[in-house]
Structure 1
Amino acid sequence: MVKRQSQDPRHSGFRYRLAPGDRVRVTVFKVEGYGAETEVLSDGTINLPRIGSVNVWGMTLDEANNRITALYSAILRRPLVYIDLMAPRPVRVSLVGQVERPGFYTLSRDPSSSTLRASGPGLEGVGTVVNTSGWPTMVDALQRAGGITALGDLSNLVLVRRGNAPGEPSREYRFDYLSVLMGNGTAVNPLINDGDMIKVDKVEGVQSSEALIASAASNFAPDAISVNVVGEVVSPGVKQVKSNSPLTNAVLAAGGLDPQRAKASNIRLLRMEADGSILSRQVAFDPAAPLGSEANPPLRNGDVVVVYRNNWTRFNDTLSQAVAPLGPLLNAASLYNILTR
């Protein structure tokens, strides 16, 4: 069950709860040999002198303090126990929907460089490294997933957060960052808690060119996308262009149309959809067409732009192919005419 919340998640009464990976320090006031600095093990326990394993998984610091105090009270008179969080565990978050690399991420801070990196098998050195200062935020997590796609709806980002205590329903918070980018509103950048999920829905309808430009220029979008431009352009191949760039930008990045061979009215955009189908759309090259229009659609990572030949070039190429097999015969006949003169 999920509750929809409209208020700021900072005011939800969330309390940090201990889990495996947290490092804590337990001390007993003016009593030597009873404290320890230890890490919460995979079974949710910590090992303390004299009392052994104590299960603290899912407890707040106050609740863990009360349990440890009760256990020490069996062997000490009125113990005064302190428990401090020395190093929080990495933040595990899932990102789904219209992000470049949806999936599960573990965000751990590198204190020496103040960066967020993914950790886990096979993730060392892979993907985007996010510069940060402090606890990771929702924007940090989106950047770590490569940013939103051209179809991502910045006006309706959803943060799903687990309940404050075991058994409580999850809560949903919605954010409109598009209005902020357009200068029409304000929004918070909430801190990410362990177990959060961020959903980026697909935008409904056609976005305005102003919205596409604002999204592409923001840090929500990936730095660049790869587009393969083939056919009758000056420099065909894979080109790096900015996110949400229009089709004309990719053609210009390839040096523009070949003026002798290209047919400006016959450019095809090929795109593989999430369901495996291939989208094929024919457009005409028009640099003046508005961004987001049918004649100048925004590009996505992995798109293929094919520039076809004009009719005259096609005729010449066909004629050259037809005549090519006769080349040796024509050369031999020319040589014979020269020798018999």
Structure 2
Amino acid sequence: MNLSVASSMSHFLKISIFTIGGWIILNSSGHHPTLASLPGESLHGGARELTPTQKNEEVNLPLPPVEISQESAPPPFLISQATSELRVGVGDRLGIQFLTSPQYNTEAILQPMGSIELIGVGNLFILGMTLEQVEGAIAQVYQSAQLLENPPVRVTLLERPRATVPSLDPLPTLREERLEDPYTLGAGDQISIEIFQVPQYSGQHEILVNGMVNLPQLGSLSLQGMTLEEASQAIANAYENRRILRQPQVTIRLLNTRSVRVSLAGEVNRPGSYTMERQGSLFPTLTQALNTAGGITQLANLSAVEIRRPQRNAPDKIIRANLWDFVQQGNRANDPTLRDGDTIFLPTVTETNLAEMSRIPTISFNANAERPLNIVVIGEVFRPGPYTVTGAARTGAAGLPGGGGMAGVPPTVTRAIQVAGGIKPQADIRRIQIRRRTNLEEERIVEVNLWELLREGDSLQDVVLQEGDTVFVPIAPELNPEEAIQIAEASFSPDTIGVRVVGEIRGNGALRIPPNTPLNQAIVEAGGFNIRAHTRSVELVRLNPNGTVTRRTIEIDFGAPINDDNNPALRNNDVILVRRSTLATVSDTLSEITRPLDQTLGLFLFPLRIFNIFN
């Protein structure tokens, strides 16, 4: 604004007028700037309540003659970098200097909520302000708190975090420099509204369920979804548009925040809606929400987690996080803080990775890996069916459910097989399947090779199970005797199987022997052949899985290694029949023939035996 002002020497000077924080700066050619104030207003700025007449008509303020003086120059704090258009953001480190009260000098970092902490007054929201506005806001809050009277403040930007470079990747990895979204108001928030020099309109309010607050003389005003800065401007505009206050300076402080309500879907153990409380000034994080929902499943794609955040008057904002980067690198930017109304979605992996699946039970936001699981075991195990599996299972005798073992171990494939009585000798441990359903009710198959576990010690093959899994053990197309011996010694095979050796043997024929024990060894453990036995061959009676019974003659060769022809490996419930020799058979036949004659002769000789008694 340009005005002509009469001086004491009847000359007219052309001066420029502009304001900073309520000051009117008068600048003229060849002179230093001077200060003046508008009539009816405080020299140091602030809102002025309009009279009823002023509310309904335009206000014309005449400027009185102003004397240009060197002594009326503005205070030094007005001539600072505050005139810069630079706006402060989260992570900025600010130097705050009180020119007349150094005890309040401090350095402050702008927090994700958009506020800084000041000595004696607490938090002040300044996100998005210019340095000039920050200086005015700080001066105002100390004046309102009656700590300082019109304090001159200088604010300087000491440090700014490195800017984030957008990624061209459709699923960008979040970096540490990613700025947190400013806090937005909603139902349940308690706020303090301070209008400079108008204490009758200031006070504490709670945002109602519809997002409204009731303000003096103004009535209901919606602050739903606004940041503190936006809400301050909305209140100021409302008072000015209704001609209640002129140029009000409004400051909003957040006293108590509402609970954070989030929804989780996808590969989490308990999808649904959850209410999470803040821990002090900290908002809940993504991993804390996953933990609250029972942890993640082993089919979760941790590199592509999505957070959908509602925006006021705009489409939802999509935030992508890579939790693998958080787990492996400790990058906390990939564990963002949550806001009320967020929806978290964990997609399903397209391909299973045993290495990643083995890491999931060990991370902090996974469910309790030691809890019992309800699973089903079918195929070549001794007792197929549904079971409750823990990590403490251990197989004893074949066909008996496993128990005991170590505590604190997560349930795995081998533990499930042990619970089901152990693996059968004819099982194909190279192609064991874990049939697992996604949260979209689609079946995914994870194949494991327990032979690699036995041969190479590849522990990744012993996959940790999750609720509802089905373990399928197929039958092997052919058996390798050498491999069968190794499998029989594995922990997921039973300790013993039950066989019977009957017929011409010396000892007890009921045996408990290790799986795949050869036939020759079973005969020896049963006491060996007696003198009546046919030592060249025995009969092996076997109950097949389909319910049929096979019976075959095995030629005995105690020097033969384990093989399917004359020294086969035994299975549970096998029966070995040792026949009589030819001589024993003839002897037994003659005994049967002569037995009636012996009985007849016995009748005739009975009287003679009586006389022998008296003799």
Map of 2:434 onto structure 1: 159
Change (3 A) 1:59 1:136: closer
Q: What amino acid maps onto 1:138 in structure 2?
A: V
Contact persistence 1:177–1:187 (CA under 8 A): no
Offset of residue 198 of structure 1:
1.2
Contact persistence 1:212–1:292 (CA under 8 A): no
User: Which residue of 408, 417, 420 maps to 1:145?
Assistant: 420
Matched, 1:193 2:478: no
TM (norm. structure 1) is: 0.67
Map of 1:284 onto structure 2: 555
Select the structure that is richer in strand: 1
Map of 2:405 onto structure 1: 131
SS at match of 2:430: strand
Contact persistence 1:232–1:257 (CA under 8 A): yes
Seq. identity, %: 28
In 2: Cα distance, 1:155 partner to 1:333 partner: 76
Contact persistence 1:58–1:166 (CA under 8 A): no
Offset of residue 15 of structure 1:
4.1
1:284-338 deviations in Å (ceiling 9; x for gaps):
2222222132111111111111111111111111222222233333344455667
In 1: Cα distance, 2:367 partner to 2:603 partner: 90
Matched, 1:204 2:504: no
Gaps of 5+ in 2: 1-265, 281-292, 301-306, 308-338, 343-364, 395-399
Contact persistence 2:499–2:574 (CA under 8 A): yes
Aligned pair count reads 272
SS at match of 2:474: strand
SS at match of 2:502: strand
In 2: Cα distance, 1:178 partner to 1:78 partner: 50
Offset of residue 152 of structure 1:
0.9
Q: What amino acid maps onto 2:554 in structure 1?
A: V
Map of 2:166 onto structure 1: none
Q: What amino acid maps onto 1:18 in structure 2?
A: R
Map of 1:170 onto structure 2: 443
Map of 1:73 onto structure 2: none
SS at match of 1:263: coil
1:33-72 deviations in Å (ceiling 9; x for gaps):
xxxxxxxxxxxxxxxxxxxxxxx899989xxxx9xxxxxx
In 2: Cα distance, 1:57 partner to 1:180 partner: 30
User: Which residue of 268, 271, 278 maps to 1:29?
Assistant: 278
Matched, 1:254 2:526: yes
Map of 1:35 onto structure 2: none
In 2: Cα distance, 1:302 partner to 1:221 partner: 16
Contact persistence 1:130–1:143 (CA under 8 A): no
User: Which residue of 18, 22, 25 maps to 2:270?
Assistant: 18
Map of 1:42 onto structure 2: none
In 1: Cα distance, 2:341 partner to 2:477 partner: 61
Q: What amino acid maps onto 1:232 in structure 2?
A: E
Map of 2:585 onto structure 1: 314
1:262-289 deviations in Å (ceiling 9; x for gaps):
1123311111112221111110222222
User: Which residue of 389, 399, 402 maps to 1:107?
Assistant: 389
SS at match of 2:534: strand
Q: What amino acid maps onto 1:227 in structure 2?
A: V
Q: What amino acid maps onto 1:102 in structure 2?
A: P
Query: Map of 1:18-97 to 2, 5 A cutoff?
Result: 18=270, 28-29=277-278, 90-97=372-379
Change (3 A) 1:84 1:94: closer
In 1: Cα distance, 2:526 partner to 2:366 partner: 58
Offset of residue 249 of structure 1:
2.0
User: Which residue of 493, 509, 515 maps to 1:221?
Assistant: 493
Greater Rg over alpha carbons, structure: 2
In 1: Cα distance, 2:268 partner to 2:565 partner: 49
Change (3 A) 1:186 1:88: closer
Contact persistence 1:128–1:143 (CA under 8 A): yes
Offset of residue 127 of structure 1:
2.5
Map of 1:70 onto structure 2: none
Q: What amino acid maps onto 2:515 in structure 1?
A: S
Offset of residue 233 of structure 1:
0.9
Contact persistence 1:178–1:211 (CA under 8 A): no
SS at match of 1:141: helix
Gaps of 5+ in 1: 1-13, 20-24, 32-55, 67-76, 110-114, 118-125
In 1: Cα distance, 2:444 partner to 2:596 partner: 73
Matched, 1:272 2:543: yes
In 1: Cα distance, 2:269 partner to 2:501 partner: 51
Map of 1:123 onto structure 2: none
Q: What amino acid maps onto 1:238 in structure 2?
A: A
1:226-263 deviations in Å (ceiling 9; x for gaps):
101110111143211101111112211211111x1111
In 2: Cα distance, 1:84 partner to 1:197 partner: 21
In 2: Cα distance, 1:28 partner to 1:240 partner: 59
In 2: Cα distance, 1:303 partner to 1:222 partner: 15
1:135-157 deviations in Å (ceiling 9; x for gaps):
11111111111111111112222
Contact persistence 1:130–1:144 (CA under 8 A): no
Superposition CA RMSD, Å: 3.9
SS at match of 1:204: coil
Change (3 A) 1:206 1:221: same
Q: What amino acid maps onto 1:233 in structure 2?
A: I
Change (3 A) 1:27 1:297: same
In 1: Cα distance, 2:474 partner to 2:383 partner: 14
